[in-house]
């Protein structure tokens, strides 16, 4: 049986997000979309005056593969309820502009700041263009990049392709909800083996 953990945060302790990081390989397996001045989606082309990246920060109800020496291979799931609580706590703490590079606490940057934040809600028609296939309850953000050298790295290299959240989280196993994700986990295993 595969190890599956659900992410939880507590309103009254240190759990929750403390930064969003620009990374090469986002765990959500969704790369940034870059926007040109007219707001048309561009995967490679860009307009130097816009400097906006949009991507998935947290993917709801979707097993995400992780590895750590003490747990081995396992999967984590952010429920849409946990994402909602996490975003609200992050906002309340005023951390929307807490951005670093490659999860390096020595590389926080003031030149990247959030300009849009969406929790996908298809019932309310809150679905950004280009993210129609993302599950309800997922968190999508747009950031303005003012640093020209960093912007050049984002659009011209594979060094920064997406977002990765960082923080302190509680993990719990819930056998009743395991069945809901077992097929997705097996699909993830097949993908990993075929790579």
Within 10 angstroms of residue 107's Cβ, the number of other Cβ atoms is 12
| DSSP bridge pairs for 108 | 100
**Does residue 174 surpass a pLDDT of 90?**
no
pLDDT confidence bin for 150, thresholds 50/70/90: very high
pLDDT tens-place string over residues 11-57? 778 888 888 888 887 777 666 666 544 444 433 333 456 889 989 99
pLDDT interval class at 182 (50, 70, 90): low
Of 3-7, 42-46, 149-153, 171-175, give the lowest mean pLDDT range: 42-46
Phi, psi of 185 (to 5 degrees): -65, -45
pTM summary value:
0.79
Band (pLDDT 50/70/90 cuts) for residue 144 is: very high
The tokens of 137 are what? 């309850």
What is the torsional sign of CA 179, 180, 181, 187? positive
pLDDT value for 112: 96
Q: What is the largest CA-CA distance in the chain?
A: 51
């Amino acid at each position: 049986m595969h190890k599956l953990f659900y992410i939880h945060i507590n309103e009254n302790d240190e759990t929750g997000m403390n930064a969003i990081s620009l990374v090469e390989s986002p765990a959500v397996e969704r790369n940034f979309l870059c926007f040109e001045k007219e707001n048309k989606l561009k995967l490679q082309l860009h307009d130097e005056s816009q400097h906006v990246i949009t991507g998935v920060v947290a993917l709801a109800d979707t097993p995400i593969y992780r590895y750590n020496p003490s747990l081995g291979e396992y999967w984590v799931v952010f429920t849409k309820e946990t994402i909602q609580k996490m975003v609200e706590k992050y906002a309340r703490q005023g951390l929307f502009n807490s951005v670093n590079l490659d999860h390096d606490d020595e590389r926080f940057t003031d030149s990247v700041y959030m300009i849009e934040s969406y929790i996908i809600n298809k019932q309310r028609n809150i679905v950004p263009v280009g993210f129609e296939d993302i599950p309800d309850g997922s968190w999508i953000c747009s950031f303005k990049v003012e640093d020209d050298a960093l912007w050049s790295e984002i659009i011209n290299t594979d060094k920064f392709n997406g977002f990765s959240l960082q923080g302190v989280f509680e993990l719990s196993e819930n056998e009743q909800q395991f069945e809901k994700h077992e097929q997705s986990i097996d699909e993830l295993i097949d993908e990993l083996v075929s790579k």
